[in-house]
Amino acid sequence: CRYGAVLLDIGLPDMTGHSVLKALTEMDANLPVIILTGQVSEQNTIAPLTKGAFAYATKPYNASEIKALIRRAVGVRALSAKAETVETALNESEERFRSVVQSTADAIILAQETGQIIFWNKAAQGMFGYTERDVMGKPLTMIMPARYSAAHQRGLERVLSSEVPRVIGKTMDLHGLRKDGSEFPLELSLATWKTQQGTFYGGIIRDITERKRGEE
């Protein structure tokens, strides 16, 4: 059975919420777990985040806040599931892969281990303003604000050294850079794989401008 998200009270009567969190993340690393706690301490808030929790909420609970967290968590779960579908399609056949990625509303971008773009779907064109011809063979840094360049380079170095990048398998909130120079908030789910031709990685990207406005 697959769940969209989990609400977990850190103060359980017969066992610790920390042990349940550990079991849940071991069972499914991409399952968003929202921690609920009445004791606002680092042990009950920040610590679970470092161990895989998606977010936390503290008493007195705000119903609107909890609903917003759940909606976001389910959205992240759906994005991770889509990444798995894309990877499966890529492994099965090029024709099926292209059919899947060109029909999705999310931007899908693939790059080789040195950071050059090798695939760019229609949604990416609409999101960033570049055509496929504009970006093929170009570095990923052209679609990210300059402040991300150093972290991006460190990630590439970890890929080249065969280390597992810290962001693989996670969903992150970042900002993208459009062709016209404007920035926008996005949600990124990143994956990597190896073939005989080398190491590649891909991103499933969702524009979250409207969600951010709602949160504000």
For 57-115, write each residue's pLDDT tens digit: 888 888 887 887 787 777 767 666 666 666 676 667 667 667 767 777 888 888 888 88
Q: Which two tokens stand for residue 98?
A: 């292209």
Distance (Å, rounded) from C-alpha 102 to C-alpha 93?
14
In tens, the pLDDT along 34-64 reads 888 887 777 777 777 777 787 788 888 888 8
Residue that the structure tokens 């031709």 belong to = 197
pTM summary value: 0.59
- The pairing of strands 183-195 and 171-177 is antiparallel
Whether residue 188 contacts residue 174, with contact meaning beta carbons closer than 8 Å, is answered with yes
Cβ partners under 8 Å of residue 128, min gap 6: 107, 143, 176, 177, 178, 179
